[in-house]
Chains A and B, each alone.
Chain A
Amino acid sequence: MIETDVRVVGEFIDKLLSLDRLGAEDILDRARQNTSPLQVVEELIIPALEEVGRGWEQGSVALAQVYMGSRICEDLVELFLPSSSPERTSKPLMAISLLDDYHGLGKTIVYTALRASGYELMDYGRLTVAELVRRVCADSTRIILISTLMLRSALQVREVKEMLAAAGCQAKIVVGGAPFRFDPRLWQEVGADAMGATAADAIKVVTHIIEEEL
């Protein structure tokens, strides 16, 4: 129904950026009338989040709008695709974490955007390198997303990589945050498997890993 309807996606984005939750809900309700929940997510929510992420990268959208818009999407998606829904993608096991860093906004935005995109993931909160490695191994987590703001945290990803390898854990490491945006080669230097510059990037990266690499 909404497939390729760029106009509807555009209207939905406008509602998100102006924090018009009721307006966004109205568009979503109309979209859902003849469409499955997952199709709404794939054809409306994800394209909208991707466009908002592009806007942030290009400077036309502010981080506050990204956060508030992601939060609206997560709330709305929860209404028709609740956490317990079998249609959510909960395998392979995925988690997001801060690495000894008290700046949690990036983690919250990525967590929210992934959930709004139909993924289920665990939020590990803030952990040290050793705590994170223990948790990943104990849970058999297959994809670990690490959000950073401080350079020291970004550099600690190398230790995570080495300790996971030493423990025989095969988890894919996806990193994001300011240090990786300001030094585009840093993610490879620290041994991450992928980097996402925005929450929308994180969705793409996770989808790619699940479809192609696991």
Chain B
Amino acid sequence: MIPLSKMSSMERVLTTLGHNEPDRVPFFLLLSLHGARELGMTIREYFSRPDNVVEGQLRMLAKYNHDCLYPFFYASIEVEAFGGETIFYDDGPPNCGAPIIRLQSDIGELRVPEIEKSAGLARVLTAITALKEKVGDETPIIAVAVSPFSLPVMQMGFAQYFELIYESPELFDRLMAVNEEFCVSWANAQLNAGATAICYFDPLASPTMISREMYLKTGFEVSRRTLARINGPTATHLASGHCLPIVDDLTATGTAAVGVSALEDLSEIKEACRNKLTVIGNLNGVEMRSWTVAQAEQKVKDAINGAAAGGGFILSDNHGEIPWQVDEEVLLAISRAVRQWGNYPVGKKI
């Protein structure tokens, strides 16, 4: 057994994923954009070279001393592989440009992109490989793959996709077949490059977005098929969407963890997930922008009180990406608070 006081981030995270208590609560600051600030460059410039992301991630790991590296560039990098474009901003996450599927009939022409032929995906893989060389097995490297079920929001737009789901089941199945192949290839390529686990972004799975009844007919089956073919652990992230009504369904997809919303009760989620799914969350990223240092500390304490006992908990934000507008002082305050209040056992209210 590993002495608790000597746990590496990897050991800490694996212990909590095993629903046991490590030395302290592990915490993931899911920072992507902030790396650009660290390097004093624009967001567009930052993501244009993998060595920027490597340097940014390593600097943020040293500064905040959290428990993962997060070489996530931006979501639409996956749509770039399908021929899509990305719109960059100086103060927020890149957005997907015009839909690559303009008409439902375009779905018939869609082909599975080859990972190695996409310049954007290649940059991500290069960054993961370099990070793995730097940290070895000390620190988990969390890579991201958008679920086949949620990717069409960027491929064709929300409204058009909802209409497809409800009104054109055959074309929906065809789109899922393409996206599933792509997602499996992309996730496994990142694991092969050195990623420890895949954050499987699936906001559409949330009952905030689609009814459970429809999810069970569609996204649930997609995830079950997809996750079975991904050669490593996955954490399903609902990107601020609710999860409580589908906790058992998510468990049945084969995922190991779930990223949960700030709008749900963390202790209630923890009870529903206990010994089934590790809970990741749920600091409110939008509010975090205006927290004081004292508020940040209190929010960390509240989350630890709500979900840390027994392990199976990773403190993080609720969306899977901390907004650009969140100040470094708040992030440092979160880091200090976890160290001060997150040591196990945490049975008594803090």
Contacts and interface: CB of A to CB of B under 8 A. Distances in A.
A65 B211 CA distance: 8
Given A59-B207, A62-B209, A152-B91, A68 B162 contact: yes
Contacts, number: 81
A108 B159 CA distance: 8
Nearest to B95: A102
Contact of B159 (A61, A101, A104, A178): A104
Main secondary structure of the interface of B (DSSP, over half): loop
B289 A151 contact: yes
Which of B89, B97, B159, B214 is packed against the most chain A CB atoms within 10 Å?
B159
Interface residues of B, number: 36
Interface in A75-105: 100-105
Nearest to B245: A59
Nearest to B211: A62
Nearest to B264: A59
B42 to A, nearest CB: 14
Interface string B244-260: 11000000000000000
B214 A182 contact: no
Interface string A93-133: 00000001111110010000000000000000000000000
A38 interface: no
B286 A151 contact: yes
Contact of A182 (B162, B163, B286): B286
B282 to A, nearest CB: 11
Given A59-B207, A59-B242, A179 B93 contact: no
Given A150-B95, A151-B323, A183-B290, 19 more contacts: A19-B166, A56-B208, A59-B207, A59-B208, A62-B211, A64-B162, A64-B211, A67-B158, A68-B162, A68-B163, A102-B95, A105-B158, A152-B91, A155-B325, A179-B286, A181-B263, A182-B240, A182-B285, A183-B289
17 contacts: A56-B208, A61-B211, A64-B210, A64-B214, A65-B211, A68-B162, A68-B166, A108-B159, A150-B95, A152-B91, A181-B263, A182-B240, A182-B284, A182-B285, A182-B286, A183-B284, A183-B287
Interface of B: 87, 89, 91-93, 95-97, 157-159, 162-163, 165-166, 207-211, 214, 240, 242, 244-245, 262-263, 284-287, 289-290, 323-325
